[in-house]
Structure 1
Amino acid sequence: MLATVRRNQGSPAPPPTASARILATGTPRLPAAFPSTIGSPSKRKPPPPSAGRQRGARTPSPDPLQSRLPHVQLPESPSRATLRAIPASPSKRKGKQVERPADELPRILPDHLHPLLERQKRAILKSLQHPPEIDEIEVYGEDYPPTNNAAYEQLSELLTGSVVRGEGNSCMLIGPSGSGKTQIVEKAIAQLPSKPIVVRLSGHAQHNDRLAIREIAWQLAQQTGQSFLPNDPEDAEDEEQSAPAPAEQQAEGDASLDADLDVDADGDDDENPFVERAPALPPAENARLAITLPPPAHLLALISMIPTLPRPTIIVLDGFDLFATHARQALLYCLLDTAQACRTGTGSGSGMAVVGVTARVDTINLLEKRVKSRFSGRMIRTACPAKMEHWVQLAQAVLGASVVSEGAKEGADEKEWGRMWAKAVEAFAGSEDVVEALKETYALTRDFQMFRRIMTRLALDLSPSSPFPTIEKLDSATKSQRCPPRLAPLDTLPYPAVCLLIASVHASASGHDTFTFEMLHDAFKTQVRTSQSAPVQVAGGGVGMAFERLVDLRVFVPAAAAAGSVAKEFALHRSGVDRFEVKKAVDVIGQLSLKRWFTKA
């Protein structure tokens, strides 16, 4: 075609040039997208190579330009560079060991570091019991005064006045649950210049004044090594033999308490008639005398003798609002009146401090007028962390607890473990997923007890096969502690128990929110007769045993107080689970007979 065009134009065909010969022997070039058929000879394309040349061009020959210019290095084509950059196949790399970087954490802990992992877990649990101090100025800034630091300073000044100067003080520590109230009290007591006598009471354990006073006498005997006995043992025996009934004892105790309030604790006779120093006896006999309690008639009079003890006394009342619900608030009145009666600088006795700890804000309004008049009115408040960064730093400080005790020499294994663990904790605390998980929990509650339970579960999940904290472990611990299941999985219950649950759903659908065992049993027997597929007994357990198990698991809750005249099978109960939970359990079990019975409701 080109020759025909040239003949028509009258121009002879030019001979092939050297460059054309070079291109022909190399890799063939593709023609232009729009080839020009008319133009000068220099711009025309050379004729396509013949079939023989195409076959020869399939095997590339050495580049002629490289042979002519050996000192010039031609650039390599991208296709060749790409082919050389492709790594070898796994089969070709088989037998070659890929070395792990020195700073990478091992997935499986070496055997010689297993004991250090257990020591690290114990150190974390110990740190959670006594949380480390966080630099609150770094978290909140210098312009924001930390509430708990101010509460600690106020409480320390108050207790120092009672221990050093012999003052009688009283205060109330108020704050939400998990805000650090107990920690502040223990820290303030530990920082006192001298060791006082500390009596700790709880409104959850001592639910009446009699138990509280007995606990006071017990703890005083344990800490002072003195026997709180009356002067005349014969009088004590007579009082114990002629002890009145419990109701009369409580009435006489309240009456004697009112009589004791008129007695000045700092009278002329400063000696405590209820304290007798234990004689020089063997340790076992001395311990027996140290824990001997006085008769009930002298228990209330013991409080007024506390200022005459050789050391100052601090009484911590946990659940102070619960003590305010006791009859006549006799214990609070006696304690606050004795603390108010302490005189500073008289040298007649030791100081006394009453510290109430509560999470209820309106506790002061629960006090009677005569009790409130003896209270000093000091209200010290605590608060939970105000920023989420506080939790992040606290988590990093708790996890970074040292496995080496103070004064001990650090060995090679401890140094290796310390470097690995510090790097793992830093990566864990700096992860955005970890911060987001802590932020979700912080948004729900700022209670430190929740934080402690989550970190405890995280520490217990560490193992040699997975020795470092991860976001997966944190999510698992958060789900198990933040929203624990109220009841056991219903699909794990035995067959008769599931049948009773379905019967309770039928009873609720028919308008009976409360039911008895006989009602459920009749519905169960009716279903057995109609379906002929539900067994009456499975694995040696009957329907009655299944009902008792559901009551023990709190799935069925009593709807009325138990009465001796009502048999167990006729006692009213109500279901603690709803219809959807029972339906989910039936779907998981997958038995067709149960599904058909449930759908009838």
Structure 2
Amino acid sequence: MSKRKSKDSSFSLGECIATVHMILRARFCHHLPGKPFGVEAQYKNLMDLLKQTAVHGESNSLLIVGPRGAGKTMLLKSVLDELMQMKQVKENLLQVHLNGLLQTDVKIALKEITRQLQLENVVGDKVFGSFAENLAFLLEALKKGNRSSSRPVLFVLDEFDLFAHHKNQTLLYSLLDVAQSAQTPVAVVGLTCRLDVLELLEKRVKSRFSHRQIHLLNTFGFKQYVSMFQQQLSLPKEFPDGRFAQEWNQNIQSLCRDKTVEDILQKHFNSSKDFRSLHMLLMFTLSHVAVSNPNIRLTDLVAASRLCTMDSKANVLHGVNPKRWTSRPGLSVLEFCLIIAMKHLNSIYEGEPFNFEMVYNEFQKFIQRKTHSMHNFEKPVVLKAFEHLHQLELIKPLEGVSVRTQKEYQLVKLLLDSSQIMDALQKYPQCPTDVRLWASSSLE
């Protein structure tokens, strides 16, 4: 194994690759801070508000609103990363992160607040009459010993709208009441994807909220998207092996100038501009990097793009397990014939639902015309194949159909379109010619 030396360390190629995976996977999975794109104004606004609490001791409350994957968490982490570089903020600011999916009631939220503030020993076995009294005691315990001022506390409420479903919205009321009273420097930052979140708040909660909102709508253009792609894949200056990092970053720059890469990114940009879809593309691309392939190649990005845009229903037809991305036995010829029969029924009845008996009759017509190429299966065998298509979720029973109805007569719908079926047949190994012709024929 070759060695790559830098001024500060001597790293083997394997160690460099392992470090690359560790840095980039953390960046993609945990939305680690990075330079914000297209949200400079929102970044400055959030920075000013949090600095007022962290440095000047002023209480604030605000909401960061935007669709999923718009970069709300990344924006907040970027601001906090810059703030924590200030010595005064690093030594004083305390952070409490709550999530509406995890802290489903006040008791759970209170335990989590106590744990994150490391005040379990202070609380002990004390009994409080209300959540507000308990919270006030916790904040009082944070006061410095040498002076009367309290340490500023930042409360981050992810899935903010779910906290509105708590009984009497006690948590929101107590936090916003503390922020409004200005007794303790507290910043309450909520993250939500609901534009109507304020309508969910009770009147007493809404009256204590500052009504500050920061909206993220992904307004950046394609050039910024390419820059984001490059920035997310680039290694930092602090990488242990400077020479390896320089070669890696030069390779990423050359990739961004490639016309094929530009076409792939344009396709993903037109489909979805959110950070999550970009991170998924980059994660699949990074999975190809190994000691035998120490740099990202164009073919790696093409393969990753194909995985991201692959049709899950087509995967089932082609014999691919979409959950594990592994090969498995595909559909039998009989099952394909039933799908073709359903395709023709869709054409005849213009998308109306059908049942097994109708599919079986259509299949029998084909068998009678082409007896030399297909075995005439017994009806229970055909029914078993039909049920297997149901298990694979390629057909779906109509909602509201009585369970007492015999399965041969239950109405179903085909969840595949004609192009998916024809594409699968073209890739099906050793498919009888008569079956292909039947699929492409128009019925009388």
TM-score, normalised on structure 2?
0.71
> Does the CA contact (< 8 Å) of 1:132 and 1:394 recur in 2?
no
State which of 167, 171, 177 in structure 2 corresponds to 1:335: 171
Equivalent residues in 2 for 1:27-46 (5 A)?
Answer: none
Q: What amino acid is the match of 1:583?
A: M
Alpha-carbon shift at residue 555 of structure 1 (Å): 1.9
CA distance in 2: counterparts of 1:443 and 1:498, whole angstroms? 34
Alpha-carbon shift at residue 548 of structure 1 (Å): 4.3
Judging changes above 3 Å, is the alpha-carbon distance between structure 1 residues 354 and 519 closer, same or farther for their aligned structure 2 residues? farther
> Does the CA contact (< 8 Å) of 1:198 and 1:314 recur in 2?
yes
SS at match of 1:515: coil
Equivalent residues in 2 for 1:128-527 (5 A)?
Answer: 128=28, 129-131=30-32, 133-134=34-35, 146-157=40-51, 160=54, 164=57, 167=59, 169-188=60-79, 191=84, 192-193=89-90, 194=92, 196=94, 198-202=96-100, 205=101, 211-213=104-106, 215-220=108-113, 222-223=115-116, 224=118, 226=120, 273=128, 301-302=130-131, 305-309=134-138, 310-311=141-142, 314-321=154-161, 326=165, 330=167, 333-342=169-178, 353-367=187-201, 369=203, 371-384=205-218, 386-402=220-236, 414=241, 417-431=244-258, 433-435=260-262, 437-481=264-308, 483-489=309-315, 490-491=317-318, 492-511=330-349, 513-517=352-356, 519-521=358-360, 523-524=362-363
Partner of 1:122: 22
Partner of 1:574: 413
Deviation per CA, 1:251-287, whole angstroms, max 9, x where unpaired?
Answer: xxxxxxxxxxxxxxxxxxxx7527xxxxxxxxxxxxx
Q: What amino acid is the match of 1:375?
A: F
Q: What amino acid is the match of 1:219?
A: E
Partner of 2:323: none
CA distance in 1: counterparts of 2:187 and 2:36, whole angstroms? 30
Judging changes above 3 Å, is the alpha-carbon distance between structure 1 residues 355 and 500 closer, same or farther for their aligned structure 2 residues? farther
SS at match of 2:390: helix
Partner of 1:102: none
> Does the CA contact (< 8 Å) of 1:117 and 1:464 recur in 2?
yes
Judging changes above 3 Å, is the alpha-carbon distance between structure 1 residues 346 and 420 closer, same or farther for their aligned structure 2 residues? closer
Alpha-carbon shift at residue 181 of structure 1 (Å): 0.8
The answer to whether residue 399 in structure 2 is matched with residue 560 in structure 1 is yes
Judging changes above 3 Å, is the alpha-carbon distance between structure 1 residues 506 and 452 closer, same or farther for their aligned structure 2 residues? same
CA distance in 2: counterparts of 1:536 and 1:218, whole angstroms? 64
> Does the CA contact (< 8 Å) of 1:123 and 1:403 recur in 2?
no
Alpha-carbon shift at residue 553 of structure 1 (Å): 3.6
Alpha-carbon shift at residue 357 of structure 1 (Å): 1.5
Judging changes above 3 Å, is the alpha-carbon distance between structure 1 residues 313 and 536 closer, same or farther for their aligned structure 2 residues? farther
> Does the CA contact (< 8 Å) of 2:179 and 2:187 recur in 1?
no
Alpha-carbon shift at residue 500 of structure 1 (Å): 2.5
Equivalent residues in 2 for 1:48-63 (5 A)?
Answer: none
- Rg (Cα) greater in structure: 1
Partner of 1:51: none
> Does the CA contact (< 8 Å) of 1:514 and 1:572 recur in 2?
yes
> Does the CA contact (< 8 Å) of 1:335 and 1:354 recur in 2?
no
CA distance in 1: counterparts of 2:256 and 2:219, whole angstroms? 18
Alpha-carbon shift at residue 120 of structure 1 (Å): 2.5
SS at match of 1:126: helix
Alpha-carbon shift at residue 501 of structure 1 (Å): 1.1
> Does the CA contact (< 8 Å) of 2:261 and 2:298 recur in 1?
yes
CA distance in 1: counterparts of 2:289 and 2:76, whole angstroms? 33
Judging changes above 3 Å, is the alpha-carbon distance between structure 1 residues 369 and 441 closer, same or farther for their aligned structure 2 residues? same
SS at match of 1:200: strand
CA distance in 1: counterparts of 2:294 and 2:167, whole angstroms? 55
> Does the CA contact (< 8 Å) of 1:384 and 1:447 recur in 2?
yes
> Does the CA contact (< 8 Å) of 1:458 and 1:474 recur in 2?
yes
Alpha-carbon shift at residue 173 of structure 1 (Å): 0.7
Q: What amino acid is the match of 1:147?
A: A
CA distance in 1: counterparts of 2:293 and 2:73, whole angstroms? 35
SS at match of 1:273: coil
SS at match of 2:171: helix
Judging changes above 3 Å, is the alpha-carbon distance between structure 1 residues 114 and 385 closer, same or farther for their aligned structure 2 residues? farther
CA distance in 2: counterparts of 1:363 and 1:156, whole angstroms? 22
SS at match of 1:357: strand
Judging changes above 3 Å, is the alpha-carbon distance between structure 1 residues 201 and 114 closer, same or farther for their aligned structure 2 residues? closer
CA distance in 2: counterparts of 1:546 and 1:228, whole angstroms? 65
Percent identical residues: 22
Judging changes above 3 Å, is the alpha-carbon distance between structure 1 residues 567 and 228 closer, same or farther for their aligned structure 2 residues? farther
SS at match of 2:314: coil
Partner of 2:324: none
Q: What amino acid is the match of 1:551?
A: H
Alpha-carbon shift at residue 584 of structure 1 (Å): 3.5
Partner of 2:433: 592
What is the number of equivalent residue pairs in this alignment? 394
5+ residue gaps, structure 1, are 1-111, 232-270, 275-300
5+ residue gaps, structure 2, are 1-11, 143-151, 319-329
Judging changes above 3 Å, is the alpha-carbon distance between structure 1 residues 356 and 566 closer, same or farther for their aligned structure 2 residues? farther
SS at match of 1:127: helix
Q: What amino acid is the match of 1:460?
A: S
Judging changes above 3 Å, is the alpha-carbon distance between structure 1 residues 525 and 154 closer, same or farther for their aligned structure 2 residues? farther
Q: What amino acid is the match of 2:159?
A: G
SS at match of 2:104: helix
Deviation per CA, 1:54-111, whole angstroms, max 9, x where unpaired?
Answer: xxxxxxxxxxxxxxxxxxxxxxxxxxxxxxxxxxxxxxxxxxxxxxxxxxxxxxxxxx
Partner of 1:54: none
Judging changes above 3 Å, is the alpha-carbon distance between structure 1 residues 360 and 160 closer, same or farther for their aligned structure 2 residues? same
CA distance in 1: counterparts of 2:386 and 2:66, whole angstroms? 43
TM-score, normalised on structure 1?
0.54
* RMSD (Å), alpha carbons: 4.2
Equivalent residues in 2 for 1:68-79 (5 A)?
Answer: none
Partner of 2:3: none
Deviation per CA, 1:114-168, whole angstroms, max 9, x where unpaired?
Answer: 44334323333233344553387xxx8xxxx82232243144146538x946x4x
SS at match of 2:310: coil
Alpha-carbon shift at residue 447 of structure 1 (Å): 1.4
Partner of 1:42: none
Q: What amino acid is the match of 2:278?
A: F
